[in-house]
Structure 1
Amino acid sequence: MHRHRLGGGFAGSEWAIVESAVVTPGQNGADDVWLFVKRSLGGVTKRTIEIMTAPFEYGGLDDAFQVDCGLTYLGAAVNAISGLDHLDGESVDVLAGGKVYKGLPVAAGQVTLPGGAVASKWQVGLGYRCEANTLELDVGGRDGSIVGRRKKIAKVMLSLLETDMSGLEVQSSLRGRWEKVRMPSIVAPDGRASLFTGNVEVPIDDSWEGQGRVKIRHVNPTPCTIRAFTPVFDAEP
């Protein structure tokens, strides 16, 4: 079990507070998780009823709903949408027309795309950051466990499924530099996000004192699924 940190905050907390939750049978074979959430929005305490979306698999990027306390717009291509009164005074993340827009302000229930951009489908809401921290490595010892022995990661191999790599980063647990996950052969036209399935190699600036621990985060309102994580490392004999 792990903590799910929802977008928004309350009373100095960096994330929203779930006051109640219930699970009901869904219509597509997956259960529906309903949450009663408390946040400070625009300086006012507000409560919303939200439903968690099912994990994203093999869909169109425009259908990916990866925000909290958000709404979907589908219609004519427009530069601004309204109906976001519950998020007045907040900054939201937007996935519109396959492009990512972060930190857009909501005023009078309306949000506008920069540069005169237009889109016919929007996913807009509070952004959140997905994070994972690996445990100390304990594989590859010639005489058994390598727990407690110094080790250093040179690179990691990630097996990804339908993932927007523009928001995916990896970091040594001791070094402060986040390494972006890139595939030079994949070019997103017109700045649009693209989804990648396959394996990617990421070099890491690690330290011998880090015990082979790695941090992973995804910061965009787009899909990210990591199927496997394989480190390449050296360890004390």
Structure 2
Amino acid sequence: MNRLAGKRALITGGTSGIGLETARRFVAEGADVLVTGVTPAGIDNARQVLGDKVPVVRADARDLDAQRGLAERVREHFGELDVAFLNAGVSDWRPFEDHTEDSFDRLFDINVKSVFFLTQALIPVLAHSSSVILNASNSAHGGYGQSNAYAATKAAVSSLMRSWNADLLASHGIRFNAISPGPVDTPLYSKYGERRAAMLEAISSGIPVKRMGRPGEIAEAVVYLASDASAFTVGQDLILDGGQTAL
């Protein structure tokens, strides 16, 4: 299929997990894509998966100068941008009493502040009639133990998505939507080593469909929101969590 043929797209945090799978799907759907990452290993892996035609650039989400530089890099590469999937972020689940000012600031700097100012920097680059998709989380829609500060950042992202439509849809032709994934089986869990299987089983038991999400299932929703098929979809936050929030 070529649902994104001719689209020029930016995917932040596109070197692993949901971001990388979305980048792969975008390329398969005919988009010209630029992705960002942070770690050299992740950047190298993405280059191997996506091929030479997809620029993979380093951009630290906590460095606002780097975010503004990314917008300029996008302008130089594409001229204008049709789609942005702002996916870069971090999670930090811990008991409320264990959070420190540093852990709180890190979450908000990467998950909220960087998204806010990158979007601001991208406004002159985004084409009239463009789509921006933000990666929120189902933790913003329900109460989950140890999600506290992380959930607050994702609730902020969802709120910004709605407000930005009021600011920018009529004047700039930019429509904003979000996705809110639940637990997704990504390489993130590989750090748990031999405990990984037991952890995934425990998480799956709390999901009504009795399994975790797959990166491709999340990527499919992003493709829809990026495509012209969703032109009438504005201000929506799609909860993709196997029924965990609803049930």
Structures share a fold, TM > 0.5? no
Task: Select the structure that is richer in strand.
Answer: 1
Rg bigger for which structure?
A: 1
Q: Taking structure 2 as the reference length, what is the TM-score of the superposition?
A: 0.26
Task: Select the structure that is richer in helix.
Answer: 2
